[in-house]
Structure 1
Amino acid sequence: MSGPFVPFRQFVLKVHSRCDLACDHCYVYEHADQSWRGRPKVISDETVSWAALRIAEHVKEHGLDAVHVVMHGGEPLLAGRDRLARTAAELRTRLDGLCTLDLRIHTNGVLLDERFCDVFAEYGVKVGVSLDGDRAANDRHRRFADGRSSYDPVVRAVRLLRSRPELYAGLLCTIDVANDPIAVYRALADLDPPRIDFLLPHATWDDPPPRPTPTAYADWLIAIFETWAAEGGAPPVRMFESIISTLGGGSSLTESLGLQPSDLVVIETDGSYEQADSLKTAFEGAPETGLHVLRHTLDEVARHTGILARQQGLGGLCDECRACPVVDSCGGGLYAHRYRSGSGFANPSVFSADLFKLITHVRGRKRMSTPTHTVPASAVDTLASGLGGRHEVFHLAESQRSLRRALLAAVNRAVSTAADPVSDAAAHPVPGPAATAGRAAGEDPGHDIRAAWELIATLDGTHPGAVDSVLAHPYVRVWATECLRDRGHAGHLANIAAAAAIRAGVTASLDVQVLGGSVHLPTLGVLAVDPGGAAPGSRRTARLETAGGSFRLPGHGALGTITPDGGHRDGQRGWHPVRRLSAGGFSVALEDTDPFRDCHQWPAAGRLTAEEAAAWQRAFEGAWALIESDHPEYAPGLRAGLTTLMPLTPAPEGREVSSTARHAFGAVAAALPDGPATLALLMIHEFQHVKMGAVLDILDLYDEKDTRLFYAPWRDDPRPLEGLLQGAYAHIAVTGFWRARRHSEPDPAQAQFARWRRDTAEAVETLASSGALTPLGARFVERMRQAVTPWLDEPVPAEALEVAARSARDHRERWTAASSLPETP
């Protein structure tokens, strides 16, 4: 990076400068800066092209892995479908292949219709809508110029987005304390938003907000927080989750809170670069930079004094804020809200008393000390039916993201607490590469962990996509869970940090763990440092250096430089990259390198030969083609959540074996089956367990104190309630698989369908009558029942029915004879 600034990752592209509503709280039209009057109504294609070019230049210059672009206004839909399509296409053309583009539009929703949605679906544009609550709350400010209500057309727009959930980004609500907070929250939550953003009304010390009591805004938000927390944190509320994240040492999730440097720039309809729109509330010309997209690069914008002032973190705050005990979470509040004539922005927020009270209140809720997630009610119902596409699985993946981060922080705390930092620093000064190349693990674990944690924290601010990619690896959570029991594995945190650094392409140097003679880098592969010369399970450290996406071990000069794509230079040996399986535009890791993958019911296979990996590729291609053609209802969920196939050692008797691990979200383990159809069934079946495990991580479906054991028609051993729930849920998909397969393979599909529909329905009834389900669990199981019950009436040949009945009877008799437990009805 050239220059002491943070590169931009968020871009607001003003595509239209006028609006079809006349909201009296709008920061664009109703506050101090009135520059909109002199700007073109609509952005030109030339300006869009230059904007996309400048963003692409910036991405290349700084190696950014992801950027966020929001098409905004005014009201952006006034730009029209064709212009928005051209704008989205230009951005995609310039950026796809360079980085991940999160492309969004924020609208008042009045003009949104199916044709707009078709454009957004074509170009992958997510849609956020402004809505201030129920009709009374919304119409207090959001009206047409002639005074007409905007509520009905906006709610119609949101309902349209609910029918196309892949487009639905969430709702933004500007707070007015004259409105009933719970009525506002209920009205918003009932629309199943993926996220709610509550926005404090823009105000300054010169133009303060209406304030009936000293902390009216805190009290309003606390009322909602209490309801939200009591209901499990659904739907996600960005302000609350940001406070919870920062209180736990994590990152802020919003520009209006926290100490993260601002990385946002606005491009107006005339091509002018501006600072954040909220500055329009301060004074005329406050957001101006004097720079233009045709003449200036984004690096020049990033060096603007106004931009730099918002990247100083704690050092950019006034003395009063720096001394505040909640400054890490508050961060001084939104920059614009600090403005006062005479002292500029060197003041606390005009909402500082509210922020202090709200953050202190949230801090007091110890059970909410880490981010919590759930899924909208409609998504829960879809998941309970046995299905779940991209939208539903996305919610599960987001909850796992927070859980992994919380576990990582717990590992850091546990190891840091165990070490004595004073004596540790005195006994072990920071060593150089030569000193650490052969150091035994355990001599200085505190130093290794601190360095690794600091690197991950830094990368999370500069390259969050790289950190997320590594933390999303299924076996990182397995490691973290095991590490909290056995801190001997804590050194692997450095390997996680190194993998993130390699993915980010940054320069770093740290001591990584050498386990059993190998350096394991999650998501990348394994490097055999001492091939054949180290005892299994032995641990030591070696200095690893990363730069430009490559890495090397200076203490092992013969290894040279090894690239994460598996390339070798200087005749190296010992690098085994993670292979990938691909079919139909879908790709998963074929994980046979991670040391923590051996956590399944069956033992993990060793490193596959090239021929074995090729056999997996052929099987995967056939299985995925079958899933897409015969079982398309499962394909979107698999695409959204299945990241890894982990080879198992084949069972001695030749039976098919597959498994999932409770803490390995996204991974399915299996021995290579005898054909693509069997692999398709195993993937569909086991991914049901992946989904259910994630559901149980965030939703209470049953009484965990219930220790009874139950009959499960697919197991030879009695099962606890969770086991029966997991099995019944998985067998909805098994039944559905055989139901579809009856047309291509009647024998044995007819008998299999007859068997599993009956046994699954029986297990569902056992769950429903157990008396141990929570109200949410009862609703979940009722949806399972509704999925299975219609299948019981489908015609099946008499011979297949008899085979199914005999198979079920034989299993029950064997189970009864082998079990010392009385049968549970």
Structure 2
Amino acid sequence: MPSTPYRPPFRQFVIKVATRCDLACDHCYVYEAADTSWRHKPRFATPEILRRTAERIAEHAAAHQLPAVAAVLHGGEPLLLGPDRMREALTILRQTVESAGCALDLRVHTNGIRLDPGFCDLFREHGVRVGVSLDGDRTANDLHRRFANGSSSYEKTQYAVTLLRDQYPDIYAGLLCTIDIRNDPVAVYAAIREAAPPRADFLLPHATHSEPPIRHDPARAEYGDWLLAVFDQWNADGRPFPIRTFSSVLDAFRGLPSGTESLGLDPVDLVVVEADGTLEQTDSLKAAYDGAPVTGFDVFTHTFDEASAHPGFEARRHGLADLSETCRRCPLVTVCGGGLRTHRYSAPAPGTTQADPFDHPSVYCGDLKELIMGIKTRTRTPAAARVPAQRTLGLPADVVHQLAHGYGDAKAIAHLSRFQRSLRILLLAKVFAAADDNSGPRQEMVDAAIAMLKALDGTHKSALHEILDHPYISVWALRCLDDAQSGRPVPDDFAHLATLAAATAIRAGADAEIDVPVRRGAVYLPTLGRLVVGADAGTSLRLRITGGECELLDLAGWQDVRRVPLPAFAGGGVAIEDTDPFRRCHHWEVARRLPGQEASAWLRTLPRSWDILARDHHSYAPGIAAGLSTVVPLRPSLSGRDVSSTARRAYGAIGAALPGSRAGRGQPPTAALALLMVHEFQHVKLGAVLDMTDLHDRHDTRLFEAPWRQDPRPLEGLLQGTYAHVGVTDFWRVRRFTAPDADERAHAEAEFALWFGHTLRATRVLADSGSLTPLGLRFVEALRTTLESWTSKV
């Protein structure tokens, strides 16, 4: 009997609890587009339908061992449900799903018209986060978002946003803004910024080739230009909050998942549950044709796995294979992913048929190209490229030999660390020069800080070097230099020099008095911690340091950098960094300050993970102990997958979410974290090598096959992935014999075979690229030699 093919699970569930709306927005894809199915749906989802939906979600999560799923209550307007029915809906969903052992991330998306303190208290009680649709300032919002009688909705929506921002920030999820090119992009962005959302997005209005979007000049990429105008303002403001479209493009440049359905090639894991219990594809398809999202499945007679077999869901998992030939040939396809599927629709001409009406480039193709290339141009040349890499330092032959084979002992890593310190000293000097050239409101503070740092460099150089060894000093310095070159220096960034001076004085045991900046309600001292003083504390605080003692460190709001004592490590242990404002440079969202229980979990787990490395992985442990100084906790993934990251300019640091009881790819959390440490420190090592020498032609923009990914990768991305996966393969190679449990050993055997094949294949792709330098070829040949030495054990 043939086995049922595996299909990836759904992890996001959009639940339509109401099918009517109290606004009459003329750009609404639910009521104003091609699909008319809403007319035949019940006004509200009944408790029975919600309970059956929750049971199906729990069933699906159990079948796929999902530790968490997300559910968004949607409409129509979900708040039409009213407080009592909303409370019942939330209770049913959370109790049913979480009783099955699966965490539920509950959200609501609303137009804000009915949001009040009563609803907010209810959502806070049930742990629900609230997203609001706001199209900008009054002029922009009222262009489309009006009541049926034509009156403005702006005041009510603005009240809702202000309520969330000022009184309920803990449940404020963010804002969605639909673009209209007739609106002023700068004014729209300013209105969104004023609302201080935790995150936001700017959405292209849903359109197709049959119903194209509004354009003044069809020959111009007007939507791309509009978005770039917003990007420029957002970038100039120091990117004060994440904007998903821009972050998705920037992430795609790095080979990361896009995080949005409308960009990138990553599979979509979302399903819609209508108010009558029927299951549909993504709502945007309603803009294509009547009945486009329909699947024929419902929660009463079908499982989510059965619905997953529908061709519409299958098509959204096929990446490149689902795109038109034009898209597949385009070099930007790994970034744009062909755009939203809905925007690729073209209705067949009368009397004709099409094999696939979605087999077209996006109706916004030119706009996406303009946006992507515009962002690439604006971010192409980071300040790091302007800092001399001192490549004449070279790499000693024994260091090259170790690193090229994928390893690196304490001596080799110390060589990389010394270079990184020299690079940070050079960066600090460049920040001093840039600060002298930019007068601003904090210039007096900056000048005093520079004078103190220069004095401390003469009297307490080792203490200054301890501060400069902190990984995120480079991130901060490069940000200052980028700001200065753009002509838009950020005063708070340059004022960070004062906190460096204060931290150095404390470490040196010196006497000092200095004003330091208050940044987002806190004073941060690198490597030491931060003092939370609140939003009303002003913009600066005077520190008095006597013999290295500072009253700041004794105040109630002080949050120190926790350290895990690991005696083998160069600094005596590892910092669990959850206070540094510049740590937000990782590809995943960083965790906020860890509460006591979560911090204790890190303090327990990290030493046990290190014990695994020290006992079983002698080729990596000494190098990790010599070079890893900092671990940044990241927010766990909703999918339960392992989450880890390396920031290219933060040498010595890795980011990771602490693996849970179900995480670790079949291994316990301690082994899972040990694997993440090996994986990410491989990236740290290779990044440091690339700071010192070229391994490939940096001007080669071609994309290459990466065996472990669906989409092709740029050359450096493939090289980084290959180097990291040599460490991953070796981890599993050893784990086959050292895991205490037979099932774990069997799992390790399968993982070793998988990653051995993938990584060996990648070395061949690299070697055949024609773009490796002689040293790069030597590295790849050495990696292949390392892999092939394990062949007999596959």
Q: TM-score, normalized by length of structure 1?
A: 0.52
Give the aligned partner of residue 502 of structure 2: none
Which of 359, 364, 372 is equivalent to 1:359? 372
Q: Aligned ranges for residues 368-387 of structure 1 at < 5 Å? A: 380-383=519-522, 386-387=532-533
Give the aligned partner of residue 191 of structure 1: 195
Q: Aligned ranges for residues 358-437 of structure 1 at < 5 Å? A: 358-364=371-377, 365-366=379-380, 380-383=519-522, 386-387=532-533, 403-405=585-587
Q: Secondary structure at the match of 2:106?
A: strand
Offset from partner CA, 1:547-586 (integer Å, 9 cap, x none): xxxxx933348x445989xxxxxxxxxxxxxxxxxxxxxx
Offset from partner CA, 1:483-542 (integer Å, 9 cap, x none): 89xxxxxxxx9xx89x96984363599xx999xxxx77769xxxxxxxxxxxxxxx9999
Q: Secondary structure at the match of 1:204?
A: coil
Q: Aligned ranges for residues 37-436 of structure 1 at < 5 Å? A: 37-96=39-98, 98-162=101-165, 163-213=167-217, 214-341=220-347, 342=354, 343-364=356-377, 365-366=379-380, 380-383=519-522, 386-387=532-533, 403-405=585-587
Which of 595, 616, 619 is equivalent to 1:441? 619
Number of residues of Structure 1 aligned to a counterpart in Structure 2: 474
Give the AA of the match of 1:188.
I
Post-superposition offset of 1:99: 2.8
1:439·1:541 contact (CA, 8 Å) conserved in 2?
no
Post-superposition offset of 1:226: 0.6
Give the aligned partner of residue 812 of structure 1: none
1:438·1:542 contact (CA, 8 Å) conserved in 2?
no
Q: Secondary structure at the match of 1:320?
A: helix
Offset from partner CA, 1:448-478 (integer Å, 9 cap, x none): xxxxxxxxxxxx999754423x66xxxx889
1:508·1:545 contact (CA, 8 Å) conserved in 2?
no
1:513·1:542 contact (CA, 8 Å) conserved in 2?
no
Post-superposition offset of 1:102: 1.6
Give the aligned partner of residue 467 of structure 1: 642
Post-superposition offset of 1:66: 2.2
1: CA distance, partners of 2:258 / 2:744: 33
1:92/1:219 CA distance change after superposition, 3 Å: same
1:556/1:150 CA distance change after superposition, 3 Å: closer
1:334·1:349 contact (CA, 8 Å) conserved in 2?
yes
Give the AA of the match of 1:278.
S
1: CA distance, partners of 2:580 / 2:133: 23
Post-superposition offset of 1:316: 1.1
1: CA distance, partners of 2:10 / 2:324: 25
Post-superposition offset of 1:403: 2.6
Q: Aligned ranges for residues 705-716 of structure 1 at < 5 Å? A: none
Q: Secondary structure at the match of 1:171?
A: strand
2:666·2:744 contact (CA, 8 Å) conserved in 1?
no
1: CA distance, partners of 2:639 / 2:579: 16
1:262·1:311 contact (CA, 8 Å) conserved in 2?
yes
1:562/1:541 CA distance change after superposition, 3 Å: same
1:440·1:540 contact (CA, 8 Å) conserved in 2?
no
Post-superposition offset of 1:225: 0.5
1:5·1:311 contact (CA, 8 Å) conserved in 2?
no
1: CA distance, partners of 2:72 / 2:359: 29
1:540/1:179 CA distance change after superposition, 3 Å: closer
2: CA distance, partners of 1:556 / 1:403: 35
Q: Aligned ranges for residues 754-765 of structure 1 at < 5 Å? A: none
1:320·1:348 contact (CA, 8 Å) conserved in 2?
yes
Give the aligned partner of residue 788 of structure 1: none
* RMSD of aligned residue pairs (Cα, Å): 4.3
1:277/1:288 CA distance change after superposition, 3 Å: same
2: CA distance, partners of 1:106 / 1:137: 20
Post-superposition offset of 1:211: 1.0
Give the AA of the match of 1:100.
A
Give the aligned partner of residue 504 of structure 1: 663
2: CA distance, partners of 1:85 / 1:22: 26
Give the AA of the match of 2:257.
S
Q: Secondary structure at the match of 1:136?
A: helix
1: CA distance, partners of 2:233 / 2:315: 37
Give the aligned partner of residue 482 of structure 1: 652
Q: Aligned ranges for residues 805-824 of structure 1 at < 5 Å? A: none
Q: Secondary structure at the match of 1:101?
A: strand
Post-superposition offset of 1:407: 13
1:248·1:369 contact (CA, 8 Å) conserved in 2?
no
Which runs of 5 or more residues in structure 2 are unaligned?
Answer: 348-353, 385-474, 480-489, 494-517, 524-530, 536-556, 560-576, 591-614, 624-634, 679-725, 746-794
1: CA distance, partners of 2:212 / 2:140: 21
Q: Secondary structure at the match of 2:366?
A: helix
1:388/1:126 CA distance change after superposition, 3 Å: farther
Give the AA of the match of 1:230.
A
2: CA distance, partners of 1:310 / 1:176: 27
Give the aligned partner of residue 737 of structure 2: 555
1:465/1:478 CA distance change after superposition, 3 Å: farther
1:244·1:368 contact (CA, 8 Å) conserved in 2?
no
1:466·1:503 contact (CA, 8 Å) conserved in 2?
no
Post-superposition offset of 1:206: 0.2
Q: Secondary structure at the match of 1:67?
A: strand
Post-superposition offset of 1:119: 0.7
2:164·2:171 contact (CA, 8 Å) conserved in 1?
yes
Q: Secondary structure at the match of 2:13?
A: strand
Post-superposition offset of 1:191: 1.0
2: CA distance, partners of 1:467 / 1:513: 8
Instruction: Kindly name which structure, 1 or 2, has the bigger radius of gyration based on alpha carbons.
Output: 1
Identity of aligned residues (%): 44
1:129/1:43 CA distance change after superposition, 3 Å: same
Q: Secondary structure at the match of 1:68?
A: strand
Q: Secondary structure at the match of 1:88?
A: helix
Q: Aligned ranges for residues 16-31 of structure 1 at < 5 Å? A: 16-31=18-33
1:483/1:32 CA distance change after superposition, 3 Å: closer
Post-superposition offset of 1:396: 7.5
Offset from partner CA, 1:313-365 (integer Å, 9 cap, x none): 11111111111111111001111010001441111110010001100111112
Offset from partner CA, 1:94-138 (integer Å, 9 cap, x none): 233623322110101011111111110110111111111111111
Give the AA of the match of 2:359.
A
Q: Secondary structure at the match of 2:585?
A: helix
Offset from partner CA, 1:63-116 (integer Å, 9 cap, x none): 112211110000100011111111111121123362332211010101111111
Q: Secondary structure at the match of 1:295?
A: coil
Q: TM-score, normalized by length of structure 2?
A: 0.54
